[in-house]
A and B are shown apart, each in its own frame.
Chain A
């Protein structure tokens, strides 16, 4: 169990900069998720933490000690790979025990540790099999077992669930989270799935093109994204972004012929005529009830209704703009209907239209 700090880490392959001045620090027992689109450098960063790749500059500390230049085995980390990377010619038991064997642990003790981990992961009946004789989910468990058996300071996961089907993925997600709570382990977890990030993390680092966009708790990232990229990458359906112009204390929505007050969250003074984007999560809209006309609202045309079970996604139209709303099932809306929708401006976020940075 340990804390981890990534200080000013930069990585380039030749002239190609893949990581740019990354700074992240997590405490003992935290679950850090690195999330971002494909090719943003998540795996590279994880490999650098593991010691499998060298960084170009900066430093990494585990428990306060710099580990730069150390081999993976000297860092006391364990890693679960996307392809599971099980050793094909070894049995499950040998796979799990391999690292202990390499550290010259006596056989009796080794087998005891392996069987304990196999118990925890419920794979005892598979111990004698070869990886080729396992299903995807079972392989995934073996790969986890190989990491768990070492009892390392930090666990590193590189998209461990991306090869599983949707149902198994959800199950394993819960299981990894349970394991984290039970072991109190420090975990760094890479994914490109924003739902995995939101559900599992205690800290999220959102990356894009090798640049850390935002680092914070899941609530921070979801409710207070620092820029348009984070706002739209996290959350599904994505946050609505409505172009608007500042007019006095109000926002005039472009192409919609509507006016809303400036959200309370905005502290910076806004110059008259500034071009902005109003960020609204779909669940910040609700059907305005006739009884309580308080608060800002917009008249919108309901175009499409998509029931998902607990919620209904509604595609709404305001002039040229389309707005997604997430409404509770049973909300009385029908396609083609015009209705007034209340907007929770206490949460709404304003971004600069040119730079995309939150104001």
Chain B
């Protein structure tokens, strides 16, 4: 019976997910331009991909964005979770406030932050109209800085969710452990660094996996906030892949970039998952 119920969705998943992954991987070895063709050209498309300076920019941006996004959201989320865990009043309100951004789509987040960071409309305009005439904040239009605005918007959106995950982890820690630490004479910062944060390891894993995949997928945020610009300064692999495949008629290069993204994501997450799951079985 379970087999009968599951088989349509299993078939759909096999075809739509793994089938198209395989299809993309195959295309990346062909000379496809606007339409799919099956003239195999070996690693040629990969060579072209890595010769493309736009792709190099996209990878560099991915490293900056991914690194800062994951570190920023993890640290900030953990910090807020620890603050909220101090049995403060109105905890429910705070939790909701921090969680709301997660309910917004990336597009909405992008638009909100585009307004906020737009020199003529947002923060800069507000500060100037408040009388601070010399205030400038033009990261959104400076090629060197624009990528950081994406980090800010991305962190803003995901932090509440990260916080909720950590808060659940913190609440799962036996209060007797904290009392034991007090009896053992551990100062509060040691309690966190030696006992609580190490005990949150499973939460860290979850947070990392979620952030990593959001970072690599974060296409809509970039499109709404900067459209990859100014120039190509905020190009990410996802936007690169999209424009190659659908607007520049380079289906082969697009497929190659998609395959590179998949392989790099898998090479980060699979070993991590594997080691965690194995540890769990031992524990």
Partners in one complex: yes
Given the complex, which residues of B lie within 8 Å of A98, measured CB to CB? 181, 184, 186, 194
B67 within 8 A of A: no
10 A-B pairs closest in CB distance: A89-B198, A73-B185, A132-B283, A99-B184, A85-B176, A85-B180, A72-B183, A81-B176, A102-B185, A85-B177
Within 8 A of B (CB), among A93-125: 98-99, 102-103
Given the complex, which residues of A lie within 8 Å of B199, measured CB to CB? 87-89
Q: Can you list 30 A-B pairs with a CB-CB distance of less than 8 A?
A: A47-B179, A52-B179, A52-B183, A71-B182, A72-B185, A73-B182, A73-B183, A79-B179, A81-B176, A83-B174, A85-B174, A85-B177, A85-B179, A86-B177, A87-B177, A87-B180, A87-B194, A88-B177, A88-B199, A89-B194, A89-B198, A90-B195, A90-B198, A98-B184, A98-B194, A99-B184, A99-B185, A102-B186, A102-B187, A146-B184
- The answer for the CA separation of A15 and B180 in the assembled complex, in Å, is 28
Given the complex, which residues of B lie within 8 Å of A50, measured CB to CB? 183
Q: How does the 8 Å CB contact mask read for B250-283 relative to A, with 1 for contact and 0 for none?
A: 0000000000000000000000000000000011
Given the complex, which residues of A lie within 8 Å of B194, measured CB to CB? 87, 89-90, 98
Given the complex, which residues of A lie within 8 Å of B176, measured CB to CB? 81-83, 85
Q: How does the 8 Å CB contact mask read for B153-195 relative to A, with 1 for contact and 0 for none?
A: 0000000000000000000001011011111111100100011
B37 within 8 A of A: no
- The answer for the CA separation of A78 and B184 in the assembled complex, in Å, is 8
A265 within 8 A of B: no
Residue in A73, A82, A89, A132 whose CB lies within 8 Å of B184: A73
Asked whether, in the complex, the Cβ of B183 is within 8 Å of the Cβ of A87, the reply is no
Given the complex, which residues of B lie within 8 Å of A337, measured CB to CB? none
Interface centre among A83, A88, A103 (most CB of B within 10 A): A88
B213 within 8 A of A: no
- The answer for the CA separation of A103 and B185 in the assembled complex, in Å, is 7
A130 within 8 A of B: yes
How many A residues face the partner with a CB closer than 8 A? 26
A133 within 8 A of B: yes
- The answer for the CA separation of A89 and B200 in the assembled complex, in Å, is 9
B201 within 8 A of A: yes
Known A81-B180, A86-B180; further 18 A-B contacts with Cβ < 8 A: A52-B182, A72-B185, A73-B182, A77-B183, A78-B183, A82-B176, A83-B176, A85-B174, A85-B176, A87-B194, A87-B195, A89-B194, A89-B199, A98-B181, A98-B184, A102-B184, A102-B186, A102-B190
Secondary structure of the B contact surface, majority rule: helix
- The answer for the CA separation of A102 and B185 in the assembled complex, in Å, is 6
Given contacts A89-B195, A130-B283, contact A79 B186 (CB under 8 A): no
Given the complex, which residues of A lie within 8 Å of B283, measured CB to CB? 130, 132-133
Given the complex, which residues of A lie within 8 Å of B177, measured CB to CB? 85-88
Of all chain A residues, which has the CB nearest B195? A87
Residue in B181, B185, B201 whose CB lies within 8 Å of A89: B201
CB distance from B81 to the nearest CB of A (A): 18
- The answer for the CA separation of A284 and B174 in the assembled complex, in Å, is 46
Of all chain B residues, which has the CB nearest A133? B283
Given the complex, which residues of B lie within 8 Å of A82, measured CB to CB? 176
Given the complex, which residues of B lie within 8 Å of A132, measured CB to CB? 283
Q: How does the 8 Å CB contact mask read for A44-74 relative to B, with 1 for contact and 0 for none?
A: 0001001010000000000000000001110
- The answer for the CA separation of A98 and B185 in the assembled complex, in Å, is 9
CB distance from B189 to the nearest CB of A (A): 12
Of all chain B residues, which has the CB nearest A52? B179
Given contacts A87-B194, A130-B283, contact A79 B183 (CB under 8 A): yes
Given the complex, which residues of B lie within 8 Å of A133, measured CB to CB? 282-283
Q: How does the 8 Å CB contact mask read for B195-221 relative to A, with 1 for contact and 0 for none?
A: 100110100000000000000000000
Of all chain A residues, which has the CB nearest B175? A85
Interface centre among B177, B198, B282 (most CB of A within 10 A): B177
CB distance from A330 to the nearest CB of B (A): 48
Given the complex, which residues of B lie within 8 Å of A85, measured CB to CB? 174, 176-177, 179-180
Given the complex, which residues of A lie within 8 Å of B183, measured CB to CB? 50, 52, 72-73, 77-79, 99
- The answer for the CA separation of A314 and B236 in the assembled complex, in Å, is 84
CB distance from A135 to the nearest CB of B (A): 13
Of all chain A residues, which has the CB nearest B187? A102
Given the complex, which residues of A lie within 8 Å of B201, measured CB to CB? 89
Given the complex, which residues of A lie within 8 Å of B180, measured CB to CB? 79, 81, 85-87, 146
CB distance from A339 to the nearest CB of B (A): 53
Given the complex, which residues of A lie within 8 Å of B195, measured CB to CB? 87, 89-90
Of all chain B residues, which has the CB nearest A132? B283
Given the complex, which residues of A lie within 8 Å of B179, measured CB to CB? 47, 52, 79, 81, 85
Of all chain A residues, which has the CB nearest B197? A89
CB distance from A78 to the nearest CB of B (A): 7
Of all chain A residues, which has the CB nearest B282? A133
CB distance from A89 to the nearest CB of B (A): 3
